Amino acid sequence: MALDPVPSVTGRAVFIPGADIDTDRIIPARFMKCVTFDGLGEFAFYDVRFDEHGNKTQHPLNDPRFADASILLAGVNFGCGSSREHAPQSLRKYGFNGVIAESFAEIFYGNSTTLAMPCVMASESDISAIRVEVEANPATEVTIDVTALKVRT
* Domain range list for the chain: 8-152
Closest CA to 74 of 140, 25, 141, 8: 25
Predicted TM-score (pTM) of the model is 0.91
72, pLDDT greater than 60: yes
29, pLDDT greater than 80: no
**What span, in angstroms and rounded, lies between the C-alpha atoms of 142 and 152?**
6
- The fraction of the chain above a pLDDT of 70, given in percent, is 91
| CATH fold label, 8-152 | Aconitase; domain 4 (3.20.19)
Mean pLDDT of 139-152: 96
